Structure 1
Amino acid sequence: MRLFTALYFLLMIVTLPARADAPEDLGPAVGTNIAALIKAPDQNGKPRAFADLVGEKGAVVVFFRSAKWCPYCQLQLIDLNLHAETMASDMGYNIVGVSYDTEDNLATFTKKWQVNYPLLSDEGSRIINEMGILNDEFRPGHYAYGVPHPLIAITDKSGNIRAKLHEKAYRDRPQIEAIFEAIKGLN
Structure 2
Amino acid sequence: MKLAPLFAALLLAWPAAAAAFDPGPAVGSRIPPIAARDMAGKPVTVRDLSDKNGVVLVFFRSAKWCPYCQKQLIELKDAKAPLAQRGYRLVALSYDPPEVLTRFSEQREIPYAFLSDTGSATIDAFKLRDPQYKPDSFAYGVPMPAIFVISPRGVVQAKLAEEGYKSRPPVAAVLAAVDGLKK
Is the shorter-chain TM-score for this pair beyond 0.5, marking a shared fold? Answer: yes
Where does residue 180 of structure 2 map in the other structure? 185
User: 3-state DSSP class of the match of 2:73?
Assistant: helix
| Helix, strand or coil at the partner of 1:164 | strand
Structure 1 length-normalised TM: 0.83
Query: Does residue 70 of structure 1 match 2:71?
Result: no
Aligned residues: 163
> Which residue of the partner structure matches residue 140 of structure 2?
145
Q: Counterpart in 1 of 2:25?
A: 28
Q: How far apart, CA to CA, are the structure 1 residues paired with 2:98 and 2:86?
A: 28
Q: Could you list the per-position Cα deviations for residues 43-75 of structure 1 after superposition, in whole angstroms to 9, with x for gaps in the alignment? A: 333332221110110110000000111011111
What residue number does 2:44 align with?
48
Aligned residue for 2:159, secondary structure, equals strand
Residues 127-157 of structure 1 deviation map (CA, whole Å, 9 limit, x = unaligned): 0111111101011121100001000011122
Q: Distance in 1 between matches of 2:37 and 2:151?
A: 22
Unaligned residue ranges in structure 1 (runs of 5+): 1-22
CA RMSD of aligned residues (A): 1.3
Normalised TM-score (structure 2): 0.85
Question: In the alignment, is the contact (CA less than 8 A) between 1:44 and 1:107 conserved in 2?
Answer: no
SS in 1 for 2:147: strand
2:88 corresponds to 1:60: no
SS in 2 for 1:33: coil
- AA aligned to 2:25 is P
Per the TM alignment, residue 41 of structure 1 is displaced from its structure 2 partner at its CA by 1.6
1:15-42 CA-to-partner distances (Å, cap 9, x unmatched) read xxxxxxxx721111111212x5224222
Contact 1:55 1:94 in 2 (8 A): yes
Letter of the 1:100 counterpart: Y
The residue number in structure 1 matching 2:158 is 163
* Structure 2 residue matching 1:56: 3-state secondary structure: coil
Give the deviation of 1:85 after TM superposition. 1.9
The percentage of aligned residue pairs carrying the same residue is 43
Aligned AA for 2:165?
Answer: Y
Moved over 4 A (4+): none
